[in-house]
C-alpha cells in the first residue's frame, strides 16, 4: 500500500450521481455511494467539523490522509487480529462500467480518498474507548465522579491514565443532532446484552492493540471511536467506517504528556481551541483563518507520518 501524491486542492463536495452512482448518505466528512447491493463507495472529503458543526472551508488533502491512515490500520488489524472482520474491500475505485463511469481526470483526484466497503446494517452505537481522563469524560468526572455513569476513584486528575481502558458508548444521532453519552447498561438496552458485550470486547481489544502500536512511535491514543456493522447472515460484528484517525481519536505526543492539564494533540483539538478562544464554539458558517487551516493540516500530517512510518505526499 503506498500513499499517492495528492494536490493541495481542497475537495469539499463530491458529486458522482451524474456518473451513474446513487448517493446513500452524506456525513460531516464522507459521501457514500452505492456500487451494487452489497458494496458501497466511501469518499472522504476535506471537510472538517468541530463541536458537531462543519466549518465553511476545509483542510487540504485531509480526506486522502484519513483514508490512507484508516487503510493502514485496517491492514494492521488484519495482521494482528485476523479473527476480526472489517468492511474494507479495496482502496481503489471500481472499474468503469457503462452504468457507472467516472472520468479519468476525476478518478485521479478521487483515488487516494476512496474505499470500497461491504454494505452492512449498522449497530446504532458509537463505541468509544477511553484510556485517559479527558474531554467530556473529564467534565463529567468533575461534576459527579463518574464517566458515562461508571464510578471512578476520587482524586483523579485531568489527562490521567485510567487503570484499565473504559468502554463508554454513546448514541448514534441522526445527521444534525448530537450524540448522547450513555452507560454500558443503557447500550445493552438499545442493542441487546450479547451485541453490547461483543462490541465492548472487540473495541477494547482493538484500542489496546492500537495504543501499544502507537506508543513506541511517540503517540498516546487517549481515546477513540469505533463503529460496527452486523452481518445478517453470520451475525458477526464487522468493524466499519474510519478507524483510528485524527477525526475519530485523540492523539497526544508522548514526549510532552503531563498529568493534571490539557494536552497538545494531533487531532481536531487545535481547531477546537481556536473556536473556543474566538468565541465561535458551536456556531454555523465559520471559516477558519489560514493559520488554523495550515496548523491543523500539519497536525494531521505528522500523526500520519508517525503512525505509518511513511512520508505524506
DSSP symbols for 176-212? TS---B--HHHHHHHH-HHHHHHHHHHHHHHHHHHHH
pLDDT tens column, 53-86: 999 999 999 999 999 999 999 999 999 999 999 9
In this predicted structure, the answer to whether residue 175 has a pLDDT above a threshold of 60 is no
Report the SS3 class of residue 224: strand
Residues 6+ apart with CB under 8 A from 227: 122, 123, 125, 126, 127, 172, 239, 240, 241
pLDDT, averaged across the chain: 93
Rg (CA), the chain: 19
User: What whole-number distance in Å separates Cα of residue 131 and Cα of residue 211?
Assistant: 9
* Grid cell locating 270: 487545535
pLDDT of res. 177: 59
For residue 268, is pLDDT > 90?
no
Instruction: Read off the C-alpha cell for 52.
Output: 458537531
pLDDT at residue 245 greater than cutoff 60: yes
Across the range 114-143, mean pLDDT stands at 97
Q: Which three cell numbers stand for residue 285?
A: 458558517
Find the length of the chain: 313
- Angle between helical axes of 269-277 and 290-308 (0-180°, round to 10): 160
DSSP state of 238: E
- Which residues lie across from 229 on neighbouring strands? 122, 238
Task: Report how far residue 61's alpha carbon sits from residue 83's, in angstroms, rounded to the nearest whole number.
Answer: 33
Q: Where does the pLDDT of residue 156 fall: very low under 50, low under 70, confident under 90, or very high at 90 and above? A: very high
Residue 174 is predicted with a pLDDT of: 65
Instruction: Kindly state the average pLDDT of the residues 247-272.
Output: 93
> What is the model's pLDDT at position 2?
28
What are the phi and psi torsion angles at 178 (to 5°)? -105, 140
Contact 113, 71 (CB under 8 A): no
Least confident of 6-15, 134-143, 231-240, 278-287: 6-15
Q: Lowest mean pLDDT: which of 83-87, 155-159, 262-266? A: 262-266
122-126, 173-177, 263-267 — which is least confidently predicted? 173-177
Amino acid at each position: 500500500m503506498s500513499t499517492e501524491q495528492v494536490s493541495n486542492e481542497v475537495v469539499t463536495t463530491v458529486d458522482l450521481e451524474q456518473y451513474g452512482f446513487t448517493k446513500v448518505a452524506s456525513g460531516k466528512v464522507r459521501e457514500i455511494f452505492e456500487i451494487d447491493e452489497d458494496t458501497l463507495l466511501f469518499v472522504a472529503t476535506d471537510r472538517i467539523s468541530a463541536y458537531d458543526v462543519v466549518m465553511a472551508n476545509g483542510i487540504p488533502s485531509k480526506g486522502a490522509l484519513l483514508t490512507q491512515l484508516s487503510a493502514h490500520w485496517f491492514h494492521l488489524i488484519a495482521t494482528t487480529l485476523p479473527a476480526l472482520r472489517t468492511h474494507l474491500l479495496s482502496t481503489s475505485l471500481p472499474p468503469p462500467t457503462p452504468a457507472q463511469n467516472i472520468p479519468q481526470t476525476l478518478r485521479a483526484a478521487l483515488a487516494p480518498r476512496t474505499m470500497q466497503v461491504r454494505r452492512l446494517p449498522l449497530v446504532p452505537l458509537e463505541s468509544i474507548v477511553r484510556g485517559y481522563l479527558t474531554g467530556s469524560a473529564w467534565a463529567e468526572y468533575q461534576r459527579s465522579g463518574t464517566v458515562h455513569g461508571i464510578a471512578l476513584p476520587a482524586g483523579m486528575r485531568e489527562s490521567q491514565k485510567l487503570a484499565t481502558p473504559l468502554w463508554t458508548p454513546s448514541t448514534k444521532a441522526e445527521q444534525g443532532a448530537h450524540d448522547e453519552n450513555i452507560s454500558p447498561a443503557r447500550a445493552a438496552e438499545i442493542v441487546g446484552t450479547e451485541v453490547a458485550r461483543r462490541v465492548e470486547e472487540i473495541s477494547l481489544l482493538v484500542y489496546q492493540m492500537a495504543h501499544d502500536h502507537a506508543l513506541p512511535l511517540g503517540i498516546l491514543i487517549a481515546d477513540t471511536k469505533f463503529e460496527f456493522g452486523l452481518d445478517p447472515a453470520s451475525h458477526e460484528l464487522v468493524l466499519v467506517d474510519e478507524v483510528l484517525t485524527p477525526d475519530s481519536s485523540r492523539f497526544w505526543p508522548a514526549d510532552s504528556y503531563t498529568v493534571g492539564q490539557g494536552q497538545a494533540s494531533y487531532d481536531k483539538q487545535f481547531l477546537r481551541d481556536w473556536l473556543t478562544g474566538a468565541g465561535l464554539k458551536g456556531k454555523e458558517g465559520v471559516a477558519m483563518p489560514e493559520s488554523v487551516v495550515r496548523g491543523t493540516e500539519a497536525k494531521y500530517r505528522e500523526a500520519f507520518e508517525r503512525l505509518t512510518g511513511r512520508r505524506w505526499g
